[in-house]
Chains A and B, each alone.
Chain A
């Protein structure tokens, strides 16, 4: 009888081990980084450079040293609190009245001049950069492209492509760059990726000390703006009302409201040579 009880107990324990392992796998896949080496990250950066150059081919660079340095300082401040310390992050301003932002794998972020002109302070710039930074950190494009190399990691797929030789590999690479630019300019990210970019971007900016309501303030303002300036952002993203709603829910869930945060109006106005 005792033997039977012990056997049953052992069997029950045995059955729980695979369940625990499965749980670990799920957490790793959905929330955490994968086992990626330096070469994989270099490949991701090299791919991002190509996509970034395409973005700059479509929209010319707004070459303003002071504004570029300022935007990069804001991004690097946020990056200190991100889950991708291996990336340097580079920000460029695009010379167009259109209000939008783009990002490429490896840490390249682009904000339009129109988007910056519609901002009132540094916390709004941090919120928009934070949104783009989460697209990079969570590897939204990399996952969407679904490139796999010798391992299960899509990032390792880049290493495979870049490390390979011959025209076939080159064509695969070019097609992947085409596909990435298609996501950025035509198709847009998945709705769940935009939700994640809005909510985690807000969290990231708040961790760096910026007002978590900045993105809501910004969307509320621009949604009433000129149609030609917001047509692109509307085409590529869920509605402003939906986004405002899920950011509000996220602020409530993570307890981000009502804590003292910085806005950075004076410094922002100083860089943009605006009168306070």
Chain B
């Protein structure tokens, strides 16, 4: 009898562990709403990295406990692991990129040959295989020059 009660207690604990789930806020800030829609009352505001306990899921919304408050957060704002820091891949200078393009181009020819494509298809493959790494480097430079502060000022209409 005691053993059976112990077993039930253990199983209840296991079940709790299986259904409780942590969510982490990914967006810079997000609203916790009273109902699963944005017209409802705002219960609380959470920030990137905040941990929430999921209670329920409904139609793209999660019911969560955020501190003392319970409310709904849209699934777009959360994930099941903490947010990652920004990841960057250092882009080689334009001459390296052109060299990379040359190597890729020869691989494309091999790939086409390996698949036994016709001359016309190879021509098409080469056409779609054309790449512009210099312009990619220009865009990445333009993007990387923008600071977080500038984005916040832009959002605020400054």
Contact = CB atoms under 8 A, between A and B. Distances in A.
Given A45-B89, A185-B128, A167 B110 contact: yes
Contact of A206 (B38, B87, B101, B107): B38
Contacts of A2: 1
B18 A21 contact: yes
Contacts of A10: 4, 7-8, 11
B90 to A, nearest CB: 10
A203 B136 CA distance: 29
A17 B38 contact: no
A9 to B, nearest CB: 6
Contact of B108 (A27, A84, A174): A174
A62 B139 CA distance: 11
Contact of B78 (A45, A83, A208): A83
Contact of A9 (B8, B19, B155): B8
A269 interface: no
Interface string B107-121: 110110010000000
A32 B131 contact: no
A56 interface: yes
Interface string A32-76: 110100100110011001101110111011010100110011101
B104 interface: yes
Nearest to A69: B142
Contacts of A276: none
B48 interface: yes
Interface of B: 1, 4-5, 7-8, 11-12, 14-15, 18-19, 21, 23, 26-28, 30, 37-40, 48, 57, 59-60, 74-81, 83-89, 91, 97, 101, 104, 107-108, 110-111, 114, 125, 128-133, 135-136, 138-140, 142-146, 150-151, 154-155, 157
Given A52-B139, A57-B130, A72-B146, 14 more contacts: A3-B1, A16-B15, A17-B14, A35-B81, A52-B136, A56-B131, A58-B130, A68-B139, A87-B86, A88-B143, A90-B143, A174-B111, A175-B111, A185-B128
